[in-house]
Structure 1
Amino acid sequence: MHTTAGKNILILGANSDVAKAAIKLYVEQGHTVVAASRSTEELDRFVRENISTPVRVIVQSFDAVAFGTHQSFYDSLPAKPHIVVYAAGFQVTNEEALVNWTGTYQMMNVHYAGAVSILNIIAMDNSNTQLERIIGLSSLSGVRGRKSNFVYGSTKAAFTTYLAGLRQYLSSRKITVNAIVAGYIRSKMTAHLDLPESLLLEPAFIADVIVNAPKRFTIVPGFKWKIIYNILRLLPEGLVAKLP
């Protein structure tokens, strides 16, 4: 494991199923977690009912799309983070995204603009000499544009590209940046989608990958999804066009 006891963890978008599972694991390892989300009441309840040492979790309000509040949010943190996890997510179907600009714009803001806004602030704080890792929860949907989900996928592709450049930018400060390029996750965000059961990954599995992430940039959880990821990357455009 790359972590040792007593580190400060900041989880942005902490109300997601994956983030909640990660909170539990980080606390079990002895870390202190700032769990940041718009839904603070739900997070407070989750911490009370599911965290063995709730005093190690501080719930704070954070809105990924309220860009003007990001600097004050960061300045108000009780301690500067060692590790930052960006797990905020929002999704509408491709069919809806093509006719509903509000949903499309929300996906762009949550997955990309909001991430860039807060992570730039965190990354440019040179006074935080203990920052060692930034982890972004991305998606296999961003690997290639496919007709069934290219609007959502394009927001994740942008996020992954940003993380790749941020990794290079921060390398001189010995800060690791990871992109968790995940497949289908069983969660409240995907509950309305018709997804193959055999490919669904559990939030706790993804959380374990996050908490124990290695140094490499692209991390694809699950052996089936590793195969799919490599096929997608190498598939000729004519065959990608035949995919759903």
Structure 2
Amino acid sequence: MTVSTQKTVLILGANSDVAKAAILQYIATGFRVIAASRSVQELETFVKHHAIPADRIEVLFFDAVAFDSHETFYERLSVKPHIVVYAAGFLKNNEEALHDWESSFRMMKVHYCGAVSILNIVAKDSSNTNLERIVGLSSLSGVRGRKSNFIYGSTKAAFTQYLAGMRQYLFGRGVAVNVIVAGYIRSKMTAGLDLPESLMLEPEFIARSVVQPGNSFIIVPGFKWKIIYHILRLLPEQLVARLP
């Protein structure tokens, strides 16, 4: 398969554990990957470790919060993508974020402002007839406001709602939009957190939903988390208030 006949996926925030797992799965299914992240050196080490051929992957620098650079980044892509995945993430615990505005603001910028900035550019480019799908990695933390993570959760809720509108906006062009509403993921971002082992999901498992999302807008990986998702949506507010 030559590069000219391969479909291309652009992964933004490609150094996350889920994104790296998705890279390998996209490569295995025949895609060419543009992996974009601030952590270029780490990505290059990852590519070398997995012996990914140079004609199957391109590593670029991308900073989700450097909004002024996004237009130039997109215009300089070697090929306009068929699929765009937004997987950039940043997490601070709620108490720290509550008392440190910079931590709160960075979560807002990474999860929402940065996504809107770059994905608006992608969506506006009607000349990109390649574009088939946009996938965003969100969180169950954004389903209902809870006292233990309402700052992080609010940024993910905003991102999910943005993608919901984007799905409608792009419908006429035949571009699908999906959001992965994930539970607890075993990753470097959650390392050190006291999370229930029985609910932890592996990055490779989440990545399968990223690579093969299907037609539904909201995808909740894992049957336990599907149950939790529906309970959270339907739970009366007075009971949500008692949750941690």
Maintained 8 Å contact 1:81/1:131: yes
- 1:185-224 to structure 2, matched below 5 A, reads 185-224=185-224
Q: Deviations over 1:159-199 (max 9, x none)?
A: 00000000000000000000100000000000021100100
Q: CA deviation at 1:51?
A: 4.3
Matches within 5 A, 1:74-153: 74-153=74-153
CA deviation profile, 1:52-85 (whole Å, cap 9, x unmatched): 4343110000000000000000011110000000
Give the drift of 1:130.
1.1
Q: Match for 2:47: what amino acid?
A: V
Counterparts of residues 12-51 of structure 1 (less than 5 Å): 12-51=12-51
TM-score for both structures, normalised by structure 2: 0.97
Q: Which runs of 5+ in 1 are unaligned?
A: none
Residue number in structure 2 paired with 1:242: 242
Matched residue SS, 1:195: coil
Summarize the Cα distance change of 1:236–1:116 in structure 2 as closer, same or farther, 3 Å threshold: same
Supply the distance in 2 between the matched residues of 1:171 and 1:227 (Cα, whole angstroms): 29
What's the offset of the Cα at 1:215?
Answer: 1.1
CA distance in 2 between counterparts of 1:231 and 1:86 reads 27
Structure 1: distance between partners of 2:69 and 2:215? 31
| Unaligned ranges ≥5, structure 2 | none
> CA–CA distance in 2 between the matches of 1:100 and 1:14?
27
Q: C-alpha separation between the residues in 2 aligned to 1:73 and 1:194? A: 38
2:57 aligned partner:
57
Distance 1:53 1:148 in 2: 44
Conservation of the 8 A alpha-carbon contact between 1:81 and 1:130: yes
Mapped to 1, the partners of 2:16 and 2:26 lie a distance apart of 15
Q: Distance in 2 between matches of 1:103 and 1:34?
A: 29
The TM-score with structure 1 as length reference comes to: 0.97
The total of aligned residue pairs comes to 240
Letter paired with 1:218: I
Q: Distance in 2 between matches of 1:13 and 1:176?
A: 20
Fraction of identical pairs, as percent: 68
Whether contact under 8 Å (1:48, 1:54) holds in the other structure is no
> 1:31-70 deviations in whole A, cap 9, x for unaligned?
1000000000000000010144343110000000000000
Task: Report what 1:175 is aligned to.
Answer: 175
Q: Which residue of 1 aligns with 2:166?
A: 166
Q: Which amino acid aligns with 2:125?
A: D
Paired amino acid for 1:121: I
Counterpart AA for 1:167: R
Q: Distance in 2 between matches of 1:156 and 1:192?
A: 21
Tell me which moved more, 48-57 or 177-186: 48-57
